[in-house]
Structure 1
Amino acid sequence: MSKFLFAAMPIQGHISPGLPIAKRLVELGHEVMWYSTSKYQAKIELTGARFAKVLSAKDLDDGRFEDWFPERSKFQGVNQMKFDLKHIFFGEMPAYAADLTRLLKEFPADVVVMDAAFTGMLPLKLTGMAPKIAAYGVFPMTLSSRDTAPFGLGIPPSKSAVGRIRNKLLNGLVEKVMFADVQRHANKLLSTINVPKLPYFALTAPALASDLFLQGTSPSFEYPRSDLPSTVRFVGPYLPSRQTEFTLPSWWDDMKNRTVVHVTQGTIANEDFHQLLIPTIQALAGEDVLVVATTGGKPLVNVDIPLPDNVRLESFIPHHVLLPNVAAIVTNGGYGGVQQAIYYGVPIVTAGKTEDKPEVCARVEWSGVGINLKTDRPSKEKILHAVKQVLNQPQYKKKVSDLSREFQSMDAIENTIKELSRLALK
């Protein structure tokens, strides 16, 4: 049996995909330890893994980023992504590395399993002190390629001669100009702990530092790259564990024989429901559909409008319970939620501009499974038009049904376990 040390960014969408992986490894008799913040201790311990709490690093709560980083709200789009990279992802890198160095002495892991945004292993990798590293992808692939525009711009791929010239120019612009300050910031942090500079672009660093990269989707929902590294494996979408204790709301039977549209702003970019959730409710108020809106755990009173008769509002409904009853989803484009919609064959309308959402939304459009509104504040008219399109134009249902079958043919957890086991024995 092997030893696996998990280390992921303490953010729900980064932690959740790893939990069933850790649980399965424990069931198979492997030793598993998971380094994280106290918020996730209970969930981690339910997998059977040993919990190791952050010590040098901040005990962050991803539900309160506005408290930890109050200046974050001043930034939008690419500038907010840069802020997050500097202060949330790379900011704790030296402290993560200090904790992991200590932990690996106590628990000499055969493999460190991290999410594709975790930076804590970079100092160990760059100084030759890291064991084998496996990363799992919880957002669209960040790897630069001659066939794709740089990550973050939401631009579709092109491998034509002209497209490759475009890609080269844009990749240079992003790496050398737009994100040069992020690269300098990361290298400055490394210098404080006497570690060499990053030999690769900051956005791709965790992926390129890994010995095995497990992208949590199918090839048909990721841009093709002719120069894809040999370390990459597509394992299928990482879906949340299914809850067994959820109580159906009293209105559940209202969905019978109705066209149901679900709207959500996910669990992070949901401070202002006037961005998408409320406009969608208002846009569909006069339509012959039942709208199921969820607040991602935020208080229902934050939806500060009178609710039309055709709206049902809840804090949270597990997607595996809700989506089989849904004809279309309106979302700001969280990677996990979008992939769950695809898994259940639900056409998608996306409207998101923060975090990785422009890239998720672009892939929704590129793959043909839905419509990208290319804004995070769409008008009611645009929402209504897009919803009618995905409901009434059959190509969206066909595309998402085809991709759904591909998703359902892939067992992400078992595929991941096989790859991790091979890596541990190398």
Structure 2
Amino acid sequence: MARFLLASVPIAGHTNPLKPIARALVDAGHVVDWYTGRDFRDGVVATGATHLPMHAELERQAAKFSHDHPEREALTGLAGIRWDLKHLFLDPVVQQVADLRELTGRLRPDAVIADMGFVGASALHELTGIAWISVGISPLPIPSRDTAPFGSALSPSATTLGRLRNRLLYSLMDNVVLRDVGNHWQQLRASIALPPTDVPPFATISPLLHLQNGVAEFEYPRSDLPPQVRFVGSLADDPSAPFAAPAWWGEVTSRARPVVHVTQGTVANENLDDLVGRTMRVLSEDEVFVVVTTGGPDPSVLGELPGNARAARFVPHSELLPFTDVMVTNGGYGGVQKALSLGVPLVVAGATEDKPEVAARVAYAGAGLRLRSAAPGDDTLRTAIRRVLREPSFRRGAQRLRDAYARIDTRAELVRLIEGSVRQTR
């Protein structure tokens, strides 16, 4: 039996992918403690792990992600991304390190397992040498000679000219676009007695083991992929509570009409007309059945629905997606992983966080279409959905990925890899 300390940024997209890891380790007989926000306590406890409440200041900083912080609310595009990187993910590092020092000193875990956004875990590893396992909860963001910088959403290229392009873009990203983020990171490192580094904080993975959410077939090919990167299949978390089917559920399961599922996830859903309302509108005359999930807001905010649409706050993807012909999404990584693991093709329209990178990989894999806007035009959106419904190549692309996911026993692979890494450190 070993003991593990999990740590995650208190945001759903960073915490939920660690639930299958915690559950697998607990079921294998290990002791799991989990340091994250109080809002996630019930979900943590449901995995069998012990919840360790996060420092209140870290939770307050994470709350800025909801864009309710006055300084952040006024920022869009690249300025907003830079602000998030500095103040949401980097500023907490000093407190994260202090808290992890206390917890690891008291609990004596065999390893710390943390999502890549929890930068304090990598800093603690540098400071103390403690075993640390990183978890990728987005498309793989680490640099490669064969890919453009993460955030550019450009296709990979391993040709001579392509690699030259990549080098130039990395230089531009580090020295111009994200220069102030890099300077901020160096200052924070100095404040906790760490030396300067050339490695960007969000491209840092464990030298021991990196658990990457997804399959290699969904990622860009890389001739220089570090050997400790291991793809573990979908880390989508399915709710343990029984599914209470809505009154209209029979219209889904009957398959009388093609089912189109549309969602803006649980984060970028302030304006549901960007994608949800627009999808209902452009398909209102089509012979399809549209299932909307709002990701939190009351469905009444959508107003009167077209006759071929139904809405709910939430429907488990494990229940809905087996009956879905196409999923329209803003590109949340967890939802896309779940859809592809079930062979569902996608139309992806996302412009914030890592969503353009998710959309680019969906298109590269031939599993759907990428729309380069969070609020695509009506004609563009309608045409894309109809194409994915009618052209079998997209479903074939999604099914190829489904088969790749099916070849991985995620739970067994997680336990095997984590236990093996701990044995290396003893």
- The answer, yes or no, to whether TM exceeds 0.5 is yes
Unaligned runs of 5+ in 2: none
Contact 1:37 1:60 in 2 (8 A): no
Q: Secondary structure at the match of 2:273?
A: coil
Alignment of 1:327-406 (within 5 A): 327-406=325-404
| Contact map agreement 1:342 1:400 (CA 8 A) in 2 | yes
Superposition pairs of residues 237-256 of structure 1, within 5 angstroms: 237-255=234-252, 256=254
Secondary structure of 1:236's counterpart equals coil
Q: Which amino acid aligns with 1:144?
A: P
Name the CA distance, whole Å, in 1 between partners of 2:69 and 2:184. 17
Deviates more, 1:187-196 or 1:107-116: 187-196
Alignment-derived partner of residue 271 in structure 2: 272
Name the SS for the 1:169 alignment partner. helix
Cα distance, 1:201 vs structure 2: 1.5
Do 2:61 and 2:87's aligned partners in 1 also have CA atoms closer than 8 Å? no
SS in 2 for 1:197: coil
Determine the C-alpha separation between the residues in 1 that align with 2:285 and 2:64.
36
User: Equivalents in 1 of 2:56, 2:187: separation in Å?
Assistant: 19
Shift of 1:196: 2.2
Q: Secondary structure at the match of 2:268?
A: coil
1:60 deviates by 4.2
Alignment CA distance shift 1:213-1:245 (3 Å):
same
Q: Structure 1 residues 88 and 277 mapped into 2: Cα distance closer, same or farther (>3 Å)?
A: same
Q: 2:218 aligns with which of 218, 221, 239?
A: 221
The separation in 1 between residues aligned to 2:240 and 2:27, in whole angstroms, is: 19
Quick check: 1:79 aligned with 2:79? yes
State how 1:109-188 maps to structure 2 within 5 Å. 109-127=109-127, 129-188=128-187
Q: What is the rounded CA distance, in whole Å, between the counterparts of 1:189 and 1:301 in structure 2?
A: 45
Q: Deviations over 1:308-339 (max 9, x none)?
A: 11110111000000111111111000111111
Across the two proteins, how many residue pairs are aligned to each other? 422
**1:56 touches 1:98 (CA, 8 Å); kept in 2?**
no
Displaced runs of 4+ in structure 1, greater than 4 A? 60-64
Residue of structure 1 in register with 2:25 after alignment = 25
What TM-score do you get using the length of structure 1 for normalisation? 0.95
Structure 1 residue 194: deviation in Å?
A: 2.9
- Aligned partners of 1:62 and 1:308: how far apart in 2? 37
Aligned to 1:14: 14
Distance 2:224 2:382 in 1: 40
Structure 2 SS opposite 1:317: coil
Contact 1:264–1:331 (8 Å) recurs in 2:
yes
- 2: distance between equivalents of 1:60 and 1:235? 32
Deviation at 1:56, TM superposition (A): 6.4
Q: Which residue of 2 aligns with 1:234?
A: 231
Question: What is the CA distance between 1:241 and its match in structure 2?
Answer: 2.6
CA distance 1:130–1:338, shift in 2 (3 Å): same
TM-score, L = length of structure 2 = 0.95
The secondary structure found in structure 1 opposite 2:310 is strand
Q: CA deviation at 1:62?
A: 6.0
Aligned CA RMSD, in angstroms, stands at 1.7
Separation of aligned partners in 1, 2:170 and 2:306: 47
Q: Give 2:409's match in structure 1, choosing from 411, 414, 420.
A: 411
CA deviation string 1:12-41 (max 9, x = no partner): 121112112112212222121111111111
Partner of 1:301: 300
Q: CA deviation at 1:61?
A: 8.7
Separation in 1, partners of 2:164, 2:70 = 40
Contact map agreement 1:352 1:376 (CA 8 A) in 2:
yes
- Equivalent positions of 1:43-54 (< 5 A) are 43-54=43-54
Rate the CA distance shift 1:183–1:61 in 2: closer, same or farther, 3 A.
closer
CA deviations on 1:157-215 (whole Å, 9 max, x unpaired) are 0101111111110111111111111111122222233332334123203x2x4421111
Determine if contact 2:64/2:88 at 8 Å carries over to the other structure.
Answer: no
Q: CA deviation at 1:147?
A: 0.2
Residue-by-residue CA offset, 1:52-81 (whole Å, 9 max, x unaligned):
112364224967733663332323333322
Do the aligned partners of 2:274 and 2:374 also contact (CA within 8 Å) in 1? yes
1:197 aligned partner: 196
C-alpha distance in 1 between matches for 2:246 and 2:56 = 43
Specify the alignment match of 2:313 in structure 1. Answer: 315
Q: Tell me if the contact between 1:19 and 1:44 (Cα under 8 Å) persists in the aligned partners.
A: yes
1:306 deviation in Å?
A: 2.6
Q: Which residue does the alignment assign to 1:38?
A: 38
Q: What is the rounded CA distance, in whole Å, between the counterparts of 2:85 and 2:282 in structure 1?
A: 35
Aligned residue in 2 for 1:324: 322
What residue number does 1:88 align with? 88
Kindly tell me: are residues 402 and 67 of structure 1, through their superposed partners in 2, closer, same or farther at Cα, counting changes over 3 Å?
A: closer
